[in-house]
Amino acid sequence: EAGVAQSPRYKIIEKRQSVAFWCNPISGHATLYWYQQILGQGPKLLIQFQNNGVVDDSQLPKDRFSAERLKGVDSTLKIQPAKLEDSAVYLCASSLELLAVQFFGPGTRLTVL
């Protein structure tokens, strides 16, 4: 079975630019998550979708971050405008349902200069 796919793997941008990340979950997984992992820290949940509805976005900086999951399958996470402190690895994960084990993608490493 194919795993969680993410692209791009790496992205370097200037501050104040915008950037978007894409995630395709494991087929049939209803729940999708975006995590931010700053260097030297554990991942922190940004947003969680159940099908195409948002379950939890309490830690998403909504003034600059947005995410959508059209048709309840793949998802995009956008940052506009980017700040230096947004430099991190952005991990996407999916699970069959709520409370099920989460499977992670390889992540996108973002560097903001």
Q: Note the residues at the interface with other proteins (CB under 8 A).
A: 31, 33, 40-45, 48, 55-56, 89, 91, 93, 95, 98-107, 109
User: Which CB, 7 or 81, lies closer to other proteins?
Assistant: 7
Task: Report which of 37, 35, 63 is spatially closest to residue 49, judged by C-alpha positions.
Answer: 35
CB of 72 to other proteins, least distance (A): 16
CB of 80 to other proteins, least distance (A): 24
User: Which CB, 6 or 82, lies closer to other proteins?
Assistant: 6
CB of 68 to other proteins, least distance (A): 19
Is the CB of residue 11 less than 8 Å from the CB of residue 112? no
User: Which CB, 81 or 96, lies closer to other proteins?
Assistant: 96
CA distances from 74 to 8, 17, 35, 71, 107 (A): 14, 23, 15, 8, 15
User: Which CB, 15 or 62, lies closer to other proteins?
Assistant: 62
Question: Which helix (DSSP H) or strand (DSSP E) does residue 46 occupy?
Answer: strand 44-50
Instruction: Please measure the distance between the N-terminal and C-terminal CA atoms of the chain and give it in whole angstroms.
Output: 37
Half-sphere exposure of 81 (CA within 13 A, CB side): 7
CB of 55 to other proteins, least distance (A): 8
